[in-house]
Amino acid sequence: MNFVARLAFAGAMVLPAAAQASSDALEFDFDRVLGSEARAPRQVPSTVQQFVPVPATPQVHGGWLEGQLATLAGAQQGRIGVAALDLATGRTVSVLGDQPFPMASTSKIAVVATFLDGVEQGRWKLSDQFPLMIPQPSAKFSTTAAPVRPGAMMSAQGLIELAISRSSNPATDALLAVVGGPQAVNRWLHKAGISGMRMDRDIATLVRDDGEHNPASTIDHRDSATPMAMVELLGGLYQGQWLSPQSRAVLLGAMGRTVTGKGRLRAQLPEGADIAHKTGTLFNTSSDVGIIQTPDGRAIAIAVYATGQGGKPQRDARIATIARVVYDGYQTEASSVRRTASR
């Protein structure tokens, strides 16, 4: 049984076939933007700071799992941030878990959660129609916000499906325009009690101005999240802290149908493990965050943000390996607890 089927709630609807077909021409896939074009020099804003690499052999507190993660997430080839939470036991592990990383498309989880909160307040319906927001050509950094134009109309349900499962930027910016922009997302995060996560720009602007700083060596607080903050958001959404069962099913259902990032979190998971996740990719950074469901019904919230490492394939492989180590580590610990309890 897959992840979506395991959800205890109904409400997630599959994108209509006609809308799915039309999305192919309209979709601007955030996770294909790798920032390869020339970058203009920019004045460093006050929200940016240089990263000081950790020692080659950092001091490790904890057991085998902490030691393995510290080795895999060493910052010698670029910063890597990891956080994981076993939702059955509350056991948390992290590496650079409180350091900001570029959210890239992982921010779309918070955007959709903000919209669904508005649905629950009666402000909108999932059947309401809104236009896709299509980016228009403009020079990097030429305006505060990148220009966009309204595109085809689509239901909110369809926009959510595209934004999450296919990482569509025009669909995300459509939802952002409805809720009131990044500031509205930040207000929802504040109301939910999530700190260490902020959204400053819409996706069109973020993509257009991508590459301003190297995330492997520089910390830019704009449009960033700490791995621990993302795991807190994922865990709370999974446990139904802020959204109704119906809204939870819509968001997690779309995450369960994600088609991006096949080489990341899911790549090395064993047969029988399911995942609902959201990827992110920008210049010199790749990420994947989500909920891993074990065959015995336990859930693990995980966030991995990788920079540098020599290129996208290497970042993807590092994310996949870290996910498997976290999975195996939690499974081993759970088995040990069960053996102890049975004595």
In the chain, % of residues over pLDDT 70: 80
Question: What is the length of the chain?
Answer: 343
Distances (CA, A) of 6 to 112, 135, 251, 256, 318: 21, 37, 14, 10, 28
Helices (H), 203-311: 203-208, 227-238, 245-256
pLDDT band of residue 23 (cuts 50, 70, 90) is: very low
- Check whether 26 has a pLDDT greater than 60: no
- Pair type for strands 101-102 and 92-95: unpaired
Residue type, 334: A
- Check whether 223 has a pLDDT greater than 80: yes
Provide φ and ψ at 152, rounded to 5°.
-65, 150
3-state DSSP percent of the chain in helix, strand and coil, to 5: 40, 20, 40
User: What does the pLDDT read at residue 49?
Assistant: 78
How far is it, in rounded angstroms, from Cα 308 to Cα 54?
A: 15
| Structural contact between residues 70 and 80, judged by C-beta atoms closer than 8 angstroms | no
For the chain, the straight-line distance linking the first and the last C-alpha, in angstroms and rounded, comes to 32
**3-state secondary structure (DSSP) of residue 313:** helix
Average model confidence (pLDDT) for the chain?
A: 86
In the chain, % of residues over pLDDT 90: 74
- The CATH number corresponding to 26-33+62-342 among 3.40.50.970, 3.40.630.10, 3.40.710.10, 2.40.128.630 equals 3.40.710.10
- Check whether 311 has a pLDDT greater than 90: yes
Host H or E run for residue 37: none
Q: Which residue has the higher pLDDT, 17 or 326?
A: 326
- The DSSP secondary-structure symbol of 262 reads T
Host H or E run for residue 296: none
User: Structural domain boundaries of the chain?
Assistant: 26-33+62-342
Q: What predicted TM-score, i.e. pTM, was given to this entire model?
A: 0.87
Cβ neighbours of residue 25 closer than 8 Å, sequence gap 6 or more: none
- Check whether 64 has a pLDDT greater than 90: no
275: nearest Cα among 316, 240, 221, 234: 234
- Check whether 245 has a pLDDT greater than 90: yes
Residue with tokens 């025009």: 170
